A = this chain, B = another copy of it.
Amino acid sequence: MAARTGGQGGKQPTINDVAALAGVSKKTVSRVINRSEFISEKTRLAVQKAIETLGFVPNPQARALAFRRNFLIALLHDNPNAQTVLNFQQGVLDAIKDSDLALLVRPVDRGSDKMLDDVRTFLEKQRPIGAMLLPPISENDELARLCEDLGVRYVRVGSALLDDAKHCVSSNDREVVGEAVRRLIALGHRRIGFVRGPAGFRSAAEREKGFREALAEAGLRLADEHYAPGNYRYTAGIEAGEKLLSLAEPPTAIFCSNDEMAAGVMSVAHGKGIAVPGQLSIIGFDDSPTATHIWPTLSTVRWPIREMGVRAARTLVADFLGPSARIPDGESPVLASTFVERQSVAPPAGKA
């Protein structure tokens, strides 16, 4: 492997080269790079020109060392939904686009008992300025404590207000689930089934809460037989579908705590010859690609994951992103999810 470190066949210019060309000291060049105010316009322009002539780009490692701080932020995730991770990541990148920051992405195995050690090693080795924790690991308090101990800033992303606005970004899932369920009720549905997310996940608990509240408002209650546990996976949707759709009086609508499980329920309906949405309405959650790739297309709740990425980054490192990224004091860390109605929802049979 060639030992070249870059440049069209030569070495990258350094701050010394720029200083020599501009006829100033390297410290002055440094001031220009860092937009110091104590510099005359004339000098600034001369240095600027030298920088451009040479195509100088400051070495981030050297800066990191001198600043005693690198320009990395980390995204820690263990989300089963790849699209979610990537959308969030895109939001973060939108936010840091014009800054000096770069993004390190780090999948985490929440099942592993070495998880905390792994993360600790990672953080100690890379020493990012801050870390963003995606659900479900954002719900892990030990992880947050670890960041705190290591002096790494952190932001937890979740579906419920976890902490304070400084360490948290979330969306109003509970309310929007309620909205979706009210829509079903307005269409005439009375027997509405529910497929839950995994135990111990705050998101799952929130969605269930929103569901139950909306039912209660309308004077309905969730029959035990219309309740199915789940784990956010397709196969859990299959099992839930088998359970709910084999009942003597099956529900006329089913709310599933995510799209994958909704797709599973829909498969079972197809297999049993139950028309969707004619005989069964289905609602999911996530607005994953699957939601528009199945037939009929799935009504679902879209959470503003990309915007949450932007917000998380701003919450974490507003001081690196320029004034436009500043989040006004007291601004709520809760972003709005929306109910997206598609083909999978209709009035119950006999109510057209």
Contact = CB atoms under 8 A, between A and B. Distances in A.
A149 B12 CA distance: 12
A90 interface: yes
Interface residues of A, number: 59
Given A125-B60, A293-B234, A103 B104 contact: yes
A317 B69 CA distance: 27
A14 to B, nearest CB: 11
Contact of A82 (B2, B60, B83, B152): B83
Interface in A270-288: 270-271
A126 interface: yes
A329 to B, nearest CB: 15
Grouping DSSP codes into helix (H, G, I), strand (E, B) and loop, the A interface class, with mixed when no group exceeds half, is: helix
Contacts of A53: none
A252 interface: no
A299 interface: no
- As for how many copies of this chain the complex holds, the number is 2
Contact of A153 (B1, B8, B264): B1
A164 to B, nearest CB: 14
A223 interface: no
A6 B127 contact: yes
A89 interface: yes
Interface string A69-111: 1100000000000110111011001000000101111110000
Nearest to A270: B295
Contacts of A59: 65, 127
A125 B267 CA distance: 49
A290 interface: yes
Contacts of A68: 5
A206 to B, nearest CB: 24
A260 interface: yes
Given A61-B64, A69-B5, A295-B270, A86 B90 contact: no
Contacts of A106: 93
A42 to B, nearest CB: 28
Q: Which 7 residue pairs are nearest across A and B when measured between Cβ atoms?
A: A4-B151, A267-B295, A61-B64, A82-B82, A263-B293, A82-B86, A82-B83
Interface of A: 1-2, 4-8, 12, 57, 59-62, 64-65, 68-70, 82-83, 85-87, 89-90, 93, 100, 102-107, 123-127, 149-153, 234, 260, 263-264, 266-267, 270-271, 289-290, 292-296, 319
8 contacts: A1-B319, A61-B65, A263-B294, A263-B295, A264-B293, A290-B293, A293-B293, A294-B294
Given A82-B82, A102-B125, A271-B295, 18 more contacts: A5-B69, A6-B124, A6-B150, A6-B151, A7-B150, A12-B124, A59-B127, A60-B125, A60-B127, A65-B65, A82-B87, A86-B86, A89-B105, A89-B107, A102-B126, A103-B104, A290-B293, A294-B294
